[in-house]
Amino acid sequence: MTENKKKILAFGEVMLRIAMAQNRTIEQTNEARLNFTGTGLNVLSGLAHFGYETALLTQLPDNRVGDAAKADVRRLGVSDQFIKQGGNHIGLYFLEQGYGNRPSEVTYLDRAHSSFCLSTWTEDELRLAVDSVDLVHICGISLILTPETRFAALALARIAFESEKEVCFDFNYRPSLAYEADLNLIRKDYEEMLGYASIVLGSSRDLIELLELETKYEESNYERIVQKFLKANKIKLFAGTNKKIETTARFVQGFVYTESEYALSPFYPVYTLDRIGTGDAYAAGIIVKYLENSPLQDIVNFATASSVLAHTTQGDSPILSKRHVDQFLENPHLDIMR
């Protein structure tokens, strides 16, 4: 089917999303929709729907919930061959979907004691997984969640780097989730990780502020800082999005930097059915077009369109194919595909 296609591995937590039905609050309804989700899984779902082979490296509980999570992973087109089962807890969050100018609201229950957060991995396990793929995706949340996930994320990145596999790192810096209070230690971990990465996803601001790059490079122009940084770390691609709002309309624009160039997509209007996971659809778009050696402008347009469309589908995991994205790029106003 997908012969000679490159294969992608992601490391990350699978969480259970409990989304209350029909934009209601937890108090208003007993009906919920359960989905298994997580940055790594979402990126792989996007890549699988774009036609690639993918596998998730994670640990799930050794019970009915873990079994069901594995079934859902396979349904999305992602291999469960590197999924271990152990423990009895899974990270979970409630989603009260917003509407219009009411924001969606996320409530986390206990995450620190999840099967993934307590998982430990041997060098051999990591190496086995790395050996079977071309690119490894790691999310910054793993760096700060627990000592166990931090250790595994760095070890995996190092092994991938040593094996000359591409590493795609999603910055995803959320101080509120960090188990470690010392910002210097956190920064050090991020710096180590960035040393292994060839693709980095994030916002320019987070990157610059966390790493104190203005000071480091004695430079205040964002673009130049980013490009100096890419050059210094031998990072091939840095990508993210910009947003703007006009009265009642929202727009998103993608950007991609190399150490010498950059490209911007148009600002596309955003219609939101489900707000979560659109960044992961962007990442999947970047990775797929990068792996296909597309021109920079095509990379950023495709990734932005992928993200724009992910706002219009239910659930966190991207579910649309290349055909959908390509057609949107060609005719963004089409209203029925027959």
- Does residue 65 touch a second copy according to CB under 8 A? yes
The distance in angstroms from the start CA to the end CA of the chain is: 25
User: Per-residue x/- marks for a second copy, 246-285, CB under 8 A?
Assistant: xxxx------------------xxxxxx-xx---------
Q: Which is nearer to a second copy, 81 or 221 (by Cβ)? A: 81
- Does residue 145 touch a second copy according to CB under 8 A? no
CB-CB contact of 149 with 142 (8 Å): yes
The DSSP call for residue 103 is P
Q: Which is nearer to a second copy, 88 or 297 (by Cβ)? A: 88
Half-sphere exposure of 277 (CA within 13 A, CB side): 29
Alpha-carbon torsion, ordered 19, 20, 26, 29, to 10 deg: -160
CB-CB contact of 201 with 193 (8 Å): no
- Does residue 289 touch a second copy according to CB under 8 A? no
Q: Which is nearer to a second copy, 23 or 258 (by Cβ)? A: 23
> For residues 133 and 207, what is the distance between their CA atoms, to the nearest angstrom?
28
Binding to a second copy, residues 293-312 (CB under 8 A): 308-309, 311-312
Q: Which is nearer to a second copy, 300 or 329 (by Cβ)? A: 329
Q: Measured from the CB of residue 130, what is the shortest distance to a second copy in angstroms?
A: 19
Q: Contact region for a second copy (CB under 8 A) — 131-139, 212-220, 242-250, 257-265?
A: 242-250
Partners of 92 in the β-ladder: 16
- Residue 87 backbone zone (phi > 0: left; psi -120 to 50: alpha; other: beta): left
Q: Which is nearer to a second copy, 121 or 229 (by Cβ)? A: 121
> For residues 306 and 324, what is the distance between their CA atoms, to the nearest angstrom?
9
Binding to a second copy, residues 10-49 (CB under 8 A): 18, 22-35
Q: Contact region for a second copy (CB under 8 A) — 100-108, 130-138, 182-190, 196-204?
A: 100-108
